[in-house]
Amino acid sequence: MPTSSVSPPVPGRRTAWAEGLDELRAAATTEPGRLRVIGAVLALLVVVFGAVTAWQVSDRAAAADDVVERSQPLSADAASIYRSLADADTTAAGGFLAGGEESGTTRRRYAADIATASELLVKASANTRSSDAAGRLISRLNRQLPRYAGLVETARTDNRQGLPLGGAYLRYANEQMRTELLPAARALYDAETDRLSADYGAAKAWPYWAVASGVVALGALGWAQRRHYRRTNRVFNRGLVAASAASVAVLVWLVAGHAMARSGLGESYEHGARSLRVLNEARIDALQARGDENLTLVARGAVLTADQKDFYEVGFVSGMTDLAGAGGSGGAAAGSRLGVAAALADDDAGRRPVREALAHVREWQKRHAQARAADDRGDYEQALAKVIGTDRPTRESFDRVDAELQRALAHEQGEFRSAADGGRGALRGLAVGAAVLAVLAAVGAVLGIGRRLSEYR
């Protein structure tokens, strides 16, 4: 009976990857093979170090550029939108008080404020996505600003015709400004300021991954040179020394450059961006106080608080308290806008206009008290003269306060730009330099190992 033979199983063919690993293991058992592996690893580590450094430095440099070229200008524009709206409201109230004698200067100032706000809203819209919170606020302001301007024009027309309804229209326009436009403008300013803070945070964040990869690369280079010394009794391998020197240069440049960038950006924030914010808020407080002062005479006691006090006079006192502190004399309170602005200013050129603004605020408060005294005893014409007249009116004090605050803002803007430019300048060239030096370090490591390999040929 025939028997069938069974063939032995054919072993499966091994993959190229497995065979490659076997060859690598076999090569690593010899000194030349180990040197090739060491050279490849060293080259890879220094290249990774350079790449991570270039990536993280580029991110921080871009954020620093955003701080100077985008975020801070947008924050300043948002503050200007708020100020233009508040100044338009104040100017409209002042022009209304003058009645038919409203000057061309007042009309032009009001028109310029509305035009400035409109132009800046268009500019802000071009730099903001409509889906963002800032984009929605801009759309809201664009819808409401024409309505406000229409109410003011109606109030002016009625006032020129001697119709008492003009005062009601102006008060309604002011209410729209207080409850709709200014809160939206303030929210826009806060959103842009938050974006500025986020860009500051991104620009100042330490490049930990780059530093860690640099330490690892230097550690590996040090180990390789120690191994070389122990096996050959030669102190230096020129290629490895060159690779180490290039890696040390990149690491030192990275740490020193980023430390200088952090210092410059930190200074631009503490003595630039923060000062600008406080000064903008001080200017807005002064504008709102001036508007309340004008509307006190426009309303003639028709608008009262819950405890039966004049609504606009209460607003004036509150604005002055925020601006300089409680009381009508002496230095600015520590927590007031002018007090904080003086503390943040880091030189006399920054403190001087703040001191001058405070002196004019105190004079303004004295003149306001005289106007209120005249109004309280029924002398409306005298009170009006004290507010918008030609003989030492409160209008004159307000204009001087506003001018000094503008001078302080211009100085602090220059301080911000100088410090921020110095900070971002410390990062200039670092990304490219790190990449170039990393390539040179990799070449040095390969050549250094290659020199050892040549001894086995």
Residue 363 confidence (pLDDT): 94
CA-to-CA distance for 280 and 332, rounded, in angstroms?
17
Give the model's confidence band at 256: pLDDT under 50 very low, under 70 low, under 90 confident, else very high. very high
If you average pLDDT over residues 417-425, what whole number do you get? 89
Number of residues assigned to the chain: 457
Q: How many CA atoms lie within 13 A of 137 on its CB side?
A: 21
pLDDT tens profile 350-389: 999 999 999 999 999 999 999 999 988 888 889 888 888 8
Compare 234 and 428 and report the one with higher pLDDT.
Answer: 428
Residue 47 confidence (pLDDT): 92
Residue 2 confidence (pLDDT): 52
CA-to-CA distance for 318 and 41, rounded, in angstroms?
69
Instruction: Please check whether residue 264 is in contact with residue 255, taking contact to mean a CB–CB distance below 8 angstroms.
Output: no
CA-to-CA distance for 75 and 52, rounded, in angstroms?
32
Is 50 exceeded by the pLDDT of residue 234? yes
Residue 296 confidence (pLDDT): 86
CB atoms under 10 Å from CB of 3, counted, come to 5
Kindly state the percentage of the chain with pLDDT values over 90. Answer: 36
The overall average pLDDT reported for the chain is 85
Q: Is the pTM of this model over 0.85?
A: no
Residue 58 confidence (pLDDT): 93
Provide the token pair at 432. 């490219």
Is 70 exceeded by the pLDDT of residue 4? no
Q: Comparing C-alpha atoms, which of 330, 331, 335, 338 is closest to residue 354?
A: 338
Q: Comparing C-alpha atoms, which of 415, 424, 332, 316 is closest to residue 375?
A: 316
Place of tokens 């006691």: 301
Residue 341 confidence (pLDDT): 92
Is 60 exceeded by the pLDDT of residue 77? yes
CA-to-CA distance for 82 and 87, rounded, in angstroms?
9
CA-to-CA distance for 120 and 110, rounded, in angstroms?
16
CA-to-CA distance for 229 and 224, rounded, in angstroms?
9
Compare 98 and 166 and report the one with higher pLDDT.
Answer: 166
Instruction: Please check whether residue 372 is in contact with residue 383, taking contact to mean a CB–CB distance below 8 angstroms.
Output: yes
Dihedral angle, C-alpha 124, 129, 131, 135, nearest 10 °: 0
